[in-house]
Amino acid sequence: MELKLFSGRGNLELSKRIAKAVGCELGKLTIRNFADGEIFVKFEENIRGADVFVIQSTQPPADNLMELLLIIDAAKRASAQRITAVIPYYGYGRQDKKDEPRVPISAKLVADLLTTAGADRVLTLDLHADQIQGYFNVPLDHLLSTYVIVQHFKDNSILDLSNTVVVAPDVGGTRKARHVGRALGGLPIAIVDKWRPAPNMVEVMNVIGDVEGKEVLIVDDIIDTGGTIANAAKALKERGAKKIYCWATHALLSGRAVERVEEAPLDRLYVSDSIPLRRTSYKIEVVSVAELLGEAIVRIHEGRSVSSLFV
């Protein structure tokens, strides 16, 4: 099968970087909106019998998700041999369970939509909850940004690894913090115990672990309004943290998020390019995940294992 790479409009710059990492050009695909906003999609080259990879992050607006579904459906109807949805940011992933009456499990619905549209396989990065993998009845490769974090921090000697603690911004992030700590040479971890009185509101209750006089690295999957990271940084500073860095894979940066980052005692916020930045700041540095995704695409196409990428 011939490998063909296509991109939606959700994150075209990342798609170009991935294509460069793979060593091919993005395929010709027309996407436009009718006057009423309805999306039109057309492949402008033959994909019959091809191994098609469609790159699209599904951050808001919902048009990004709809666009991905239409591209997959068009590829299926154009007789592609296999269709892999490459989703650097899996939108609606935070609605992963029925935690109150009369609400949807939106992450499951999105999985159903993707497979119904015709996706034979899914490649994604740093899902908000591991259980989302079980929502799919097709193979799913869940990459972790740990590979990117470790390489970037080691290559640039950012941390004093002899005096660093990896911090989970909530109890749910403990597993990820441990994973990063091990990959950086067996670093200790600490946990910020937080409480959400309402959606997008955070109150820090306690810090579990010793951070006094330490450099700390907060590790999270999403930064949305910035409340979790800002409050965690303040709590860590109050408990004597020397320097505070943060890695958040998916930078939604809604509302006053950038202002909160700048006001917080953060030395640096590192984010990936899984989502195009709405705004930037002198405190924010983007680290690309294109090489990681590109390598995974090549391995999937060639039928090789991607497990070595799960650092």
Q: Do residues 59 and 222 touch, judged by C-beta distance below 8 A?
A: no
How far apart, in Å, are the Cα atoms of 35 and each of 10, 32, 40, 71, 264?
Answer: 20, 10, 11, 20, 43
Instruction: List residues bridging with 216 in a β-sheet.
Output: 165, 244
Retrieve residue 236's tokens.
Answer: 């860590």
N- to C-terminal Cα separation, the chain: 29
Asked about 194 being catalytic, the answer comes back as: yes
Q: Are strands 268-272 and 140-143 parallel, antiparallel or unpaired?
A: unpaired
- Residues 168, 262: Cα–Cα separation, whole Å: 20
Give the alpha-carbon dihedral of 268, 274, 279, 282, to 10 degrees.
20
> Which amino acid appears at position 71 of this protein?
I
Instruction: List residues bridging with 269 in a β-sheet.
Output: 246, 284
Please identify which of the residues 108, 176, 194, 214 carries the catalytic annotation: 194
Show the beta-strand stretches assigned E in 28-146.
Answer: 29-33, 39-43, 51-55, 82-87, 121-125, 140-143
* Catalytic residue IDs: 194
